[in-house]
Amino acid sequence: MTSLLNDARFAPSAAELKKHLNGKAILVTGGTGSFGKAFITAILKYTEPARLIVLSRDELKQSEMQKIFSPKKYECMRYFLGDVRDYGRLTEAFQGVDIIVHAAALKQVPALEYNPTEAIKTNINGAMNIIKAAKTCGVKQIIALSTDKAAQPINLYGATKLCSDKLFVASNTSRGSSGPIAAVVRYGNVFGSRGSIVPVLHALRKNGVVGLTDVRMTRFNITLEEAVNFVLSNLLIMQGGEIYIPKIPSYKLPQIADAVTPECEVKIIGRRPGEKLHEIMIPKDEAYRTVDIGDRLIIEPEGPGHVYKRTGKSKAVPEEFEYHSGNNTEWCTIEELRQQYVDHYCKKYGYEVPQAIVDALSK
């Protein structure tokens, strides 16, 4: 398999990717975010799309992004200002589009708890607008990004993303003969992303003390490059109605603290409201329709109207199966996490590698 963005996990072959995406018009909602920029980097490096469209509502971010992905250098690039809440704008943006990657969302948990109607307008109504506009405009494929928080949600963000997931899955039963097929990808926090623990630990280093909520807490670990690979590879195999979950390693909170801030004192500060002990991606109640296909798990669609067919390499998971970060069979080592901190955070954002990390890696 040819690796994308120097990361082999989940990478489709370059030949398969070109066959599926060359000459296509691809639109990314929330395209100015971390995922969108990494996804567009991969598309431009490995394929030749007819058009590659960024749809987002932040004109400053689009202006900054155009300095990197200039339409003069990349003739396929297009930049559309717009909001997924605006159905009319979506019908304009989706004209002639073949594939939509839906990465736009409101996702800051505390902010959404305080502003619930805004979360509903973007995460739920936005999903409905995308589905309706895509069908109107003859889009062929939609792949929507979800979150572990959509499985057994305990906060509003998770609840709105669960609704979004259900909408995209159900859209396959009413697509008719020409509507888009839609699938969902679900994974946890991306290593080093905004809102994850790594930037928090990095910022607390100067105090000499870091706070951990609960030493029992575990989290899944996926890099941004792996997330991009995962979405691309699922574009090649999706039939419509599936929820794809990557098989990725976990870590415990004390491990990530030791990896990123080995020189700091650790204090336990207690769990925050709405925070789970473990990240859940497949609850037990969905095990009966979950299959393992090697490097990923699939929650299969059910009910009348779905045309999904299980492939020969699919293996049903045990009846009591539950996939969460605490019962994982694959775990990160402190050394692996430390190297990821250097490669996927310090170097990526231009931070100097702390001397404590240099010393730890040289041992």
Would you name the residues annotated as active-site residues? 149
Beta bridge partners of 265: 209
CA-to-CA separations, 32 to 35, 60, 83, 295, in angstroms, rounded: 8, 10, 13, 29
Q: Contact, 254 vs 222, CB < 8 A?
A: no
Residue 51 CB partners (closer than 8 Å, separation 6+) = 25, 26, 76, 78, 96, 97
Place of tokens 């296909």: 293
**At residue 295, what is the residue type?**
D
* Dist CA 86 CA 128 (whole Å): 11
* Dist CA 342 CA 344 (whole Å): 6
Instruction: Please return the burial class of 294, using the count of CB atoms within 10 Å of its CB with bins 0-12, 13-18 and 19+.
Output: exposed
Q: How is residue 120 written in tokens?
A: 């509903």
Half-sphere exposure of 38 (CA within 13 A, CB side): 22
Residue 331 CB partners (closer than 8 Å, separation 6+) = 249, 250, 251
